[in-house]
Structure 1
Amino acid sequence: MEPTNQCHCCLQRPSAKDLRTPYTRHGITEIYSFMIEECFVIKLASSNEEQSGICGECERRLREASSFKVQVQRCQAELRQRLQAALRAKEEKALDEHLEDDMSSDVPEPSLPPGEKSPAPPCKEEPRDEYLSPPDEGPPAL
């Protein structure tokens, strides 16, 4: 099979870089074949002997798509965290309201059958008045 020098992503321009070669850009290593597979879940059709390349325009678009995917993943993770926090706050608020309702609810007085009077409230015990009370018995005489 004769190697082609066309971009394997668009077939419109000559390839500028190999898809399987690691390139470093701004301190980040990029391997375009891995980026395509991870970003789009596309298995590239080529043999190990065949050179596969990517043109400058497709490289730019791939990098942009890959960055966009990472952005969406980060945003989705943050939104999930926010949603979980909101749900926890809502559950805590509902629990607090439930506890407040339990504490503030009036327990109804037991009802008496018709015609019965409620018992008198308990009497408060007053301290002994030593002048009106009989004297305490002293120790037994010896």
Structure 2
Amino acid sequence: MESNFSDSMCRCCASEGVFKDFNSTYQWMGAEEVYADMLKDCFDITLTVSETINSGGICEVCITQLRNAFNFKKQVQYTEEQFKRKIEEMKFKTEIVKVEEAGEDDFPSDHNLSDDDFSSPEYDIPIIKMESSSESAKSKKRATKGATTRSKKAKTEDGETSAKRSKWDGKYTLKVTDQEKKYECNDCQRAFPKRPNFTQHYTHVHLKQGPKLRSCHLCDVFVTGSRRSRHMEEVHGLPRPTCAACGKKFCFPSKLIKHQKTVHMGEKNHPCTRCDKSFATRYAMLKHCETHSELRPYNCDVCGKKFKNKKGLSVHMDIHNNRRRYKCEACDRGFVQTSSLKYHITKHHPESV
């Protein structure tokens, strides 16, 4: 494959534009970076420097990929060191147990050790007794019995075991229709498409319990699952899942993949059964289906007018509350609805159309 190399280009992808010198030192997240050294450390690649032509540099896209690879390598190395240390600890504990279980006849006669010989700190190690074969067999038997008991628990209609259902029994009402099923909270009548959405709502709103915290494997900080990636980036320099096309950052890799498929690739896998339109998410498809329905379950408490969805009711309530959110840029006059603003611009400011 031929490439059109020039004197001003990225040495990693051969693209032209703004780039940085790969031999200079830069600051990022409080740490120094030399991209030539990072390439050598990660991939054992040394870029050639020319004295006759411009040696080029490295673009921001390649810097991000290199930084991700460099941080990933450090993470793997750190995890490997922790694993090796754990193996050494287990070997040492096993040797201590063997010494503890050995009798006096197992030692040579010239080892006449007194009580004072074991008073030094090197012998102040707690003895961890290992299970005997009979105890281990009993433990396995109890675990097998427990697993069998759990597997025999009957499944309810919404996929929960009877033990889990008893915790939330009476807290919600499952309503099933032809198109969907909803979990309605018995305390506030809010409906949710999935049971985990309801449990999160009930735990946070009615039980006043905060989200569960997860520990960071690199420090002693506890953060929520949604903020863990931000903590890893801001404190430890491990970047969050980032879209290479628009630079948007996400909490989880699954959110990034969904964003790339729906926004940049235009994937729409949720078609409407009443028309030819398709949507990126099931939620958007269900909201669209409300336009085909003849039902108007949302009533205005002021005038009694009915609407198909909450958004229509919310826009209508702006009329009663005289909430003028749409401003004319030409005369700064406010309007309740966008249609009124468009009519005003067409009539009074035709030059702006």
**TM tier, shorter chain?**
0.5 to 0.7
Given that 1:9 and 1:58 are in contact with CA atoms closer than 8 Å, whether structure 2 keeps it comes out as yes
Match of 2:71 in 1: 67
Shift of 1:48: 5.1
CA distance in 2, matches of 1:15, 1:40: 24
Matches within 5 A, 1:26-45: 26-45=29-48
CA distance in 2, matches of 1:5, 1:44: 15
**Residue among 4, 12, 15 paired with 1:12:** 15
Shift of 1:98: 2.1
State the number of aligned residues: 102
**Residue among 82, 86, 92 paired with 2:90:** 86
CA distance in 2, matches of 1:3, 1:22: 24
Name whichever of 62-71 and 8-17 sits farther off.
8-17
1:47 paired with 2:50, answer yes
Shift of 1:35: 0.8
Given that 1:39 and 1:66 are in contact with CA atoms closer than 8 Å, whether structure 2 keeps it comes out as yes
Return the TM-score normalized by structure 2. 0.27
Which deviations, in whole Å up to 9, do the C-alpha atoms of 1:32-73 show, x marking residues without a partner? Answer: 111111111112122356333111111000000110111111
1:7 is aligned with what amino acid? C
1:8 is aligned with what amino acid? R
Name whichever of 6-15 and 31-40 sits farther off.
6-15
CA distance in 1, matches of 2:9, 2:85: 45
Name whichever of 63-72 and 45-54 sits farther off.
45-54
Give the direction of change, closer, same or farther, for the CA distance of 1:101–1:61 in structure 2 (3 Å limit).
Answer: farther
Give the direction of change, closer, same or farther, for the CA distance of 1:46–1:97 in structure 2 (3 Å limit).
Answer: same
Provide the secondary structure at the position in 2 that maps to 1:18. coil
Give the direction of change, closer, same or farther, for the CA distance of 1:96–1:61 in structure 2 (3 Å limit).
Answer: same
CA distance in 2, matches of 1:55, 1:64: 14
Given that 1:3 and 1:51 are in contact with CA atoms closer than 8 Å, whether structure 2 keeps it comes out as no
Shift of 1:3: 6.2
1:34 is aligned with what amino acid? D
Given that 1:20 and 1:52 are in contact with CA atoms closer than 8 Å, whether structure 2 keeps it comes out as no
Shift of 1:15: 4.9
Provide the secondary structure at the position in 1 that maps to 2:24. coil
Bigger radius of gyration? 1
Match of 1:120 in 2: none
Given that 1:9 and 1:54 are in contact with CA atoms closer than 8 Å, whether structure 2 keeps it comes out as yes
Match of 1:132 in 2: none
CA distance in 1, matches of 2:63, 2:81: 27
Match of 1:118 in 2: none
Provide the secondary structure at the position in 2 that maps to 1:17. coil
Provide the secondary structure at the position in 2 that maps to 1:53. coil
Provide the secondary structure at the position in 1 that maps to 2:102. helix
1:24 paired with 2:27, answer yes
Give the direction of change, closer, same or farther, for the CA distance of 1:3–1:48 in structure 2 (3 Å limit).
Answer: farther
* Structure 2 gap segments, 5+ residues each: 107-353
Shift of 1:27: 1.3
User: Structure 1 vs Structure 2: percent identity of aligned residues?
Assistant: 32
CA RMSD of aligned residues (A): 2.4
* Structure 1 gap segments, 5+ residues each: 103-142
Return the TM-score normalized by structure 1. 0.62
Shift of 1:13: 4.6
